[in-house]
Structure 1
Amino acid sequence: MPGRRMLLGGALAAAAIRRAGAQSWPDRPIRIIAPYAPGGQSDTVARLLSPKLAESLGQSIVIENRTGAGGSIGAGIVAQSPPDGYTLLFESFAFLVVPFIVKGLTFDYETAFAPVGQAVALPYVLVVKRDFPAKDMAGFLAHAKAHPGVSYGTPGVGSLGHLAGALLENRAGIKLEHVPYRGGAESARDLAAGTIDAAIGTANTFGPLVQEGKVRGLALTSGERRGSLSHLPTIAESGFPGFDLTSWNGLFAPAGTPAPVMARLEAALAHATRDPATREKLAMTGNDAVTEGSAAFTARIQRERVVVKQIVAQTGIRAE
């Protein structure tokens, strides 16, 4: 009995220390891992949100780019970090795809993270280089059928762009060559230079190039026209009904992060996404600000994981 009382007392003391730590959190800067290249979608949105996150939390926010393997390198860093709220992940739709196509992961995406909330929603866009012979979606498909191996860049293996390209191949009966990059900004650079034929990326990445006439926008991956490139048709209305892939960005903490810390993070993210000036800046980059808390975001991830699994099985998409 004395031994049991000592163990119980120790457990209660440890719990009290954890509660006290959570109540004083944060007492130092917070690191957010953006697992893609600087200047791309995830990096841009994280940096637009960070001032208001810092304002709400009372600590500075440090954005750190750790790229590679479809975002799994950066995600792995967060998965292996202490669940204390000081190392977070700012991820994209690839969060759902990578576990199904990348082999040898040292962590489980489904159990290693606690979703804090969704920040933005956005469609991806299919764009081609300026001198590509096709002027519209019908022309692109005709050219791709006549010339198998049209190259398209994406922000990486497992990105929504990769998934959309594979699904388009499957439904249109064409063969494309996937060229994965470490982020959307790098694929945009090569597309503008004519190194690759096409790309599937965000309006944030390609919108300015479309407006400047350096690349040509063909179609959106979302089920309806939305965002800053809403003048473009959707792939769905271009002969593929039901084609609907809309990306998002959201904030994640390591699994096991204390509930009080999660609540502070959720409130801080809502503070940032509801700020009128921040929403305007996000809209200018093609993003629809979303205030979706932990419970709703978790439910979304669970629903969309089922859809992604089906598409991966249907298309045979895999890491190159």
Structure 2
Amino acid sequence: MTTPHRTGRRPLLALPALALLGASPARAQPAGGTPLRLVVPFPAGTTPDTLARLYGAAITGPLAQPVVVDNRAGGGGMIAAEYAARAAADGNTLFVGGNGPIAINKHITDRMPFDPDRDFRPVAFLGISMQVLVVRPGLATDLAGFLAAAREREVNYGSVGAGSASHMFMAGLVNQAGLKGQHIPYRGAPQALLEIAAGRVDVMVAAIGSALPLIREGKVVALAVTGPARDPLLPEVPSFEEAGVPGFVLPVWNALFAQRAVPDAAVERIAAAVAEARRDEAVRRGVVAAGFTIEARDPAGMAAFIARESDRWGEIARATGVRLTD
């Protein structure tokens, strides 16, 4: 699959939005030296980008090192992942990875330009979130109504990119529920959600934080969340299981990954800085504002969690037959 991308490398201080996330000017001020580069596979303004900038501002002080966010969108996250995998293994380039490039893509293409298991090692979780199924106004008011409508006629469903968690979740739902669906990939949740609000796309599943503003404004309709129970941010919205569709407890997550060859000491140094950032009230508020929860696991615990997630996404890939094409 070939997708054009834009590269944006901006120091954290260039983002006025940091003040909204609770980062004080003193803490955001970078120290001297070689910058730590956080490579994000989505454009600026998306949730992974927000989390990267939030944590980046917080770890600058503990690391005594400036932090730069490098947005490399496209290719289902593989453009950014390949760039990070091939960077010098000196601990100064980290990949802000999520479900797609780390746990999903290897199940849906034989042309991976990197190996997520051999090329990367987990460093620290940035956050974990459930997703929410949203539809355009007028299509349905509950999950049963949507399923009935989608069995009668083909619906088009958006995603944050081919091979992403939002793509594979919808492909799994379409397959399991016997729906008629056409996939339309976008370059991030904001663009896809605006298309739903405009009535040009029928449905998508998105991270709760991404969809929440449009849900609250009544521009999209929330039908079900992907967690084991209702989410505190959307207490009025049932889980899929509560709404009668079990088997769809599938979170989205973002984490920092280093190249496999990065020394343990460098990984431990960054992990300790992230752990310190998690205790910062401003960071905690920012993570919640993004619709995520703090997830504190050591690298071994992260690896086990990701392996289980990958197995589940592999099952969905085999059941749906989804493949990435060149």
| TM-score bracket relative to the smaller structure | 0.7 to 0.9
Corresponding residue for residue 235 of structure 1 = 240
Residue 231 (structure 1) shift: 2.5
Check if 1:96 corresponds to 2:103: yes
Letter in 2 for 1:313: R
Alignment check: 8 A CA contact 2:73 2:80 kept: yes
Distance (Å, rounded) in 2 between the aligned partners of 1:60 and 1:306: 37
Alignment check: 8 A CA contact 1:50 1:61 kept: yes
TM-score, scaled to structure 1: 0.88
Distance (Å, rounded) in 1 between the aligned partners of 2:281 and 2:106: 35
Check if 1:162 corresponds to 2:162: no
Distance (Å, rounded) in 1 between the aligned partners of 2:251 and 2:150: 24
Residue 133 (structure 1) shift: 2.5
Cα distance 1:303–1:133, how it changes in 2: closer, same or farther (>3 A)? closer
Distance (Å, rounded) in 1 between the aligned partners of 2:234 and 2:156: 22
Distance (Å, rounded) in 2 between the aligned partners of 1:176 and 1:221: 19
Residue 235 (structure 1) shift: 1.5
Corresponding residue for residue 205 of structure 1 = 210
Matches within 5 A, 1:30-179: 30-94=36-100, 95-130=102-137, 132-148=138-154, 150-179=155-184
Distance (Å, rounded) in 1 between the aligned partners of 2:285 and 2:306: 26
Distance (Å, rounded) in 2 between the aligned partners of 1:108 and 1:181: 24
Letter in 1 for 2:195: D
Residue 293 (structure 1) shift: 2.1
SS of the residue corresponding to residue 65 of structure 2 reads coil
Corresponding residue for residue 308 of structure 1 = 313
Letter in 1 for 2:165: L
Find the partner of 2:189 among 184, 189, 193: 184
Residue 242 (structure 1) shift: 2.8
Alignment check: 8 A CA contact 2:33 2:66 kept: no
Corresponding residue for residue 284 of structure 1 = 289
Output one character per residue of 1:192-241: Cα deviation in whole Å (capped at 9) or x when no partner: 22221112111121100000111111111222222522321111222222
Residue 292 (structure 1) shift: 1.6
Letter in 1 for 2:129: L
Distance (Å, rounded) in 2 between the aligned partners of 1:222 and 1:106: 32
Corresponding residue for residue 215 of structure 1 = 220
Residue 162 (structure 1) shift: 1.2
Residue 35 (structure 1) shift: 0.3
Gaps of 5+ in 1: 1-25
Letter in 1 for 2:189: G
Alignment check: 8 A CA contact 1:270 1:293 kept: no
Letter in 1 for 2:121: A
Distance (Å, rounded) in 1 between the aligned partners of 2:134 and 2:296: 29
Alignment check: 8 A CA contact 2:132 2:207 kept: yes
Letter in 2 for 1:181: Y
Letter in 1 for 2:277: A
Alignment check: 8 A CA contact 1:203 1:227 kept: no
Distance (Å, rounded) in 1 between the aligned partners of 2:99 and 2:59: 21
Letter in 1 for 2:303: T
Alignment check: 8 A CA contact 2:139 2:202 kept: no
Alignment check: 8 A CA contact 1:227 1:287 kept: no
Distance (Å, rounded) in 2 between the aligned partners of 1:160 and 1:236: 19
| 4+ runs deviating over 4 angstroms | none
Residue 308 (structure 1) shift: 1.7
Segment drifting more, 252-261 vs 226-235: 226-235
Root-mean-square deviation (CA, aligned residues, Å) is 1.5
Alignment check: 8 A CA contact 2:170 2:204 kept: no
Letter in 2 for 1:124: Q
Alignment check: 8 A CA contact 2:107 2:317 kept: yes
Structure with more helix by fraction: 1
Percent pairwise identity: 37
TM-score, scaled to structure 2: 0.86
SS of the residue corresponding to residue 38 of structure 1 reads coil
Alignment check: 8 A CA contact 2:103 2:307 kept: no
SS of the residue corresponding to residue 292 of structure 1 reads coil
